[in-house]
Chains A and B, each alone.
Chain A
Amino acid sequence: MENWIFPYLRQYRGLFALAILLGSLTILFGGALMFTSGYLISKAATQPESILMVYVPIVGVRAFGIARAVLSYVGRLAGHQLVLKILSDMRARLYKIIEPQALFLRSRLRTGDILGALADDIEHLQDFYLKILFPSIVSLAIYTVIIICAGLFSIPFAILLAVFIGLLVFVGPIISYIYMKTKNEQWKRRKHQLYQQFTDTIFGISDWIFSGKYATYIQRYETQEQKLLELETKKHSFVNWRDVLNQIVLGAIVIIAIYWANEQTLRGEFSPTVIAACGLAALSLVESFLPLAGAVSETSSYQDSLKRLEAIQPQSPPLQIEADGRKDSLNLSQVTIEINHLSFGYTSETPLLDDFSLKIGQGEKIAIIGRSGSGKSTLLKLIQGALVPTRGEVLINGMNAHELASAVPKLMAVLNQKPYLFNTSVMNNIRLGNPEATDEEVYEAAKMVQLHEMIMQLPKGYETNMHETGSRFSGGERQRIALARVLLQNTPIVIMDEPTVGLDPITEANLLATIFATLKGKTIIWVTHHLMGVEKMDRILFLENGKITMDGSHQQLLKSEERYRRLYALDRPLYRGEWGNGL
């Protein structure tokens, strides 16, 4: 709350005050309409001499009626305007917090999915403002106005009202909130379990069909749904009884208001015309408090979103000295990477990399092979300057990698497992590699990665939206688009982080052939977990437990290492020669 709700209300206090004022006036004018109407007909019932005697209330009734509708309209617009402004700011803020740590959000889920969920959380908070926060504050404002107005006439009456309306404004909502919170949590937990289980079933649906036992499954599933339903029924009847109690309080308040107005009349303070007015106004105003309990009890459903947002803390980025002055002096045609006695670990006991040394000259092609968890990805992040070494150094043309900061994308491009394709045209997606590239340069890049003809056949050619193409782009083609980007980015170094994972062997072989053909002359650092295509590399390193265990060219290793021979035989796609082009 402190971080993601209140600061914005302070920032936009003008608009916020306006939205609350308009919201409150809408309800007060509704009450005023009923008050004036009650007064009007009571006054008329005294059969005054001429209609002019009730002229003011007649105008009042119309004015309040029309103004209420207008206020409600303007008020809703003001509320939405405010919320959309806040959301706009939240998006910018979230982005600013996340941008520096984008490469570090580590989780079992894919980074993109986590970030996508955060974006949804912000959208979700929109409803928190509009459905809970604003109505609650408006209710409080009206509550205050009513009590003050009553207090002007009689303190005991004001206190009585404060207690009774307080039941609707404080007691009901608080009890509802507490009750619903636990129930909602239970419900969410069970629903989540059911979700996972059912997803599992749908993915394995063929197995269920072959097992011939799906009727048992349906039964089991229904038992669980039944439990969920029981929970919902409890909530349902709670809400029902709360509403009945609310109505009882409402009735009591109306009777109190009439009693009080009558007392005032008897004492001669009011004219009898006010009794009807007070009764009707009370009915209309008190009704506005009734939805409050329901709204407040849903607060807990926004807490997950808030919690996730709160959990994202601005991280102090690894020491970054803006090397803007020096980056111009970087020689982009000859880049040497030198890794000296590099050690790195997130905790001190288990280093991911242990005294690792390597020198890579311009144009060298290096494959790094290792199981997952062997430190491959960490090594890549150190080379990209995204992490600072615990000991030792990573030098790029003699400069510390982590000090190069924003110059890094000029030095090295990345091809990773799942290149992200943005929801814009194919043209824009490729051009991201170099926003200044001309159309011709984009076409050229697409031709090099052998996608040009395929793109030209799309309904709108290069202007086709990436997502509209749906599944038209296969895994291999998506990688080719990413490769075209990399070509436009035109960096001396290209880092490949298992770009062929999940592709079938033929597609993989073809893609690798295109990659190596188009990246001639560039330094390639390729992380992979199997040996397909490694024979094209100058040097192959095996990384195990943070150390290099085998090192050499394909020919050298084939000659000297028995283990390498075995692994290579295992991974060699047996039929490639015979099948590759035949089918």
Chain B
Amino acid sequence: MDKALFSYKEMKPVLAGLAILTAIQGAIIIIQAYFLADAISSLFGGDSFANVFKKLVIFFLALVIRQLLTVWKKNIAYHFAAKTGKEFRESLLQKLFQLGPRFVKEEGSGQTVTLVMEGIMKFRRYLELILPKLMNSAMIPAMICIFIFFINIRSAVILALAVPILIAFMILLGLAAKRKADRQYESYQMLSNHFVDSLRGLETLKYLGLSRQHIDQIILVSERYRRATMGTLRIAFLSSFALDFFTMLSIATVAVFLGIDLINGKMELRAALTILILAPEYFLPIREVGADYHATLDGKNAGKRIQEILDKESLQQKQDPIPLWQSTSTFSVKGVSVHFADSDRPALQDIQFFVSGSKKIGIIGASGAGKSTLIDILSGFLAPSSGEFQINGKKLTTLSQLNWQSQITYIPQHPYIFHDTVFNNIRFYHPEATVKEVEKAAERAGLAEMIQSLPNGFETIIGEGDNHRGRGAELKRRTRTTDRPRAGILKQPSYHHAG
């Protein structure tokens, strides 16, 4: 099935535990069926209810034990999934911080958030569902079939033959449905998005004077969407039809042959009834594999995607100690070039420069000249394709060094303000800063007056989606710089600041 499954930590003991429980469960299912059949056939033979009551109690206990085993198995899978999910999430978060803003931008910040928050949840759900299912479908039908084989060979053969036929049909029909869906994919996508698209653009339609007549379009497209969907469903449902059809047909066939054997006196009622009760149990695990298909698929894909990210080479390989920047420190960039896969032209070519001590350096260039790339290189968010750096004469291939990054303050065009108090935003880099230090930093940045005018002063919540945003940007731009920076990279902070 999914080879990645076996690479997870502690997978083997979990599988072993599940296998043992499933084996016990298989035996219990057979006991349950046997005693129900036994009770019924005894009653049929004229035994009194009081006499068969013991058998019914065993049936009942088997039923309960079977369910308890299911609960136990679900718990094992649940805790394993939760644990694996947590480990996955921790490594993923770690990796995200290592890959940095460049990766987040490529992937899309929304996507990244969804992957961590939803992706892990789906992956967990997948593990939780798939493990017991795999075990059940691998063991229970086989156990039941072998048991039946010893009672009545013909029934066992019918059941054993039904499965490959059933699977073959499901695959064929599944493929047909997929082909049809693929063929229609584009128009399907267009139709299904049409309504959302119309509502999102309603304001524009209104201004264009088209909004009222657009209702006809919506009804038309909705109806076309319905017809297209029904066309696909007609084929998609065929595979579960095949599953139902062959299951029912096999059970019916088994029942008929059992009847014939009984008439001919070749077997007794108890055995026949046991087989008849076991027949649906035989198909149950196979039918369950197909259930929750989407949840399973989503989770599997999410797991794959997360693994891909975890396998990405991160920039921070080995950490060299980098001393604090001083007036005698030197930094040089030698022959640094950057090539991106999607472009023939190098983004940066053979960059050289040398800096010593505390300097103020401006980097000027038109858009597309490579300024942002250079900043990402200097911030350690990107490794150069070739070239090297030297800090105090010590060679480094990338600047993805924690010691280096903690000495940098980066003030971008659009600085990000966290949804938190002004106070916490100012001391973001130094959470241990005292009230005095924060006040002093604010004063040096010329913000004291502005902060005083805020409703709650330093305790005012600022950040995404609130109306102090413009001021917040100003606040951050000014404050964090004075917050003991060692080296600063300024990226057009005063470029377009209007309002």
Interface residues of A (CB under 8 A from B): 33-34, 36-38, 40-45, 47-48, 51, 54, 57-58, 61-62, 64-66, 68-70, 72-73, 76-77, 80-81, 84-85, 87-88, 91-92, 94-96, 98-99, 102-103, 108, 111-113, 115-116, 118-120, 122, 191, 194-200, 202-214, 218, 221-222, 225, 229, 232-233, 236-237, 240-241, 243-244, 247-248, 250-252, 254-255, 258-259, 262-263, 265, 272-273, 275-276, 279-280, 283-284, 406, 408-410, 413-414, 416, 419-424, 432-433, 435, 482, 485, 489, 504-505, 529-530, 532, 571, 583
Contacts and interface: CB of A to CB of B under 8 A. Distances in A.
Nearest to A41: B272
Contacts of A413: 207-208
14 contacts: A38-B276, A65-B248, A88-B225, A94-B199, A95-B195, A203-B416, A206-B101, A211-B428, A244-B64, A265-B43, A276-B40, A279-B40, A432-B208, A583-B367
Contacts of A58: 256, 259
Contact of B251 (A33, A214, A255): A33
Given A420-B203, A423-B193, A433-B208, A206 B410 contact: yes
Interface residues of B, number: 122
A489 B210 CA distance: 11
A277 B262 CA distance: 16
Between A37, A284, A419, the greatest number of chain B beta carbons within 10 A of the residue's beta carbon is seen for A37
B47 to A, nearest CB: 9
A41 B269 contact: yes
Contacts of B280: 34, 284
A218 B90 contact: yes
A204 B113 CA distance: 12
B44 A276 contact: yes
B258 A44 contact: yes
A526 to B, nearest CB: 15
A209 B259 contact: no
Q: Is the contact region of chain B dominated by helix, strand, or loop, or is it mixed? A: helix
B241 to A, nearest CB: 4
B198 A95 contact: yes
Given A37-B252, A73-B238, A416-B207, 14 more contacts: A65-B249, A66-B248, A68-B248, A92-B215, A209-B381, A210-B379, A244-B71, A276-B44, A276-B269, A279-B36, A406-B209, A422-B197, A422-B201, A530-B499
B473 interface: no
A489 B208 contact: yes
The main secondary structure of chain A at its interface with chain B is helix
Given A119-B199, A221-B93, A272-B44, A95 B241 contact: no
A33 B248 contact: yes
A468 to B, nearest CB: 10
A205 B67 contact: no
A258 B39 contact: yes
A275 B418 CA distance: 71
B68 A420 contact: no
Contacts of B262: 41, 44-45, 47
A422 to B, nearest CB: 5
Contact of B210 (A122, A203, A205, A435): A435
Given A198-B117, A199-B113, A206-B412, A61 B255 contact: yes
B243 to A, nearest CB: 8
Nearest to A49: B263
A504 B497 CA distance: 10
Contacts of B277: 280, 283
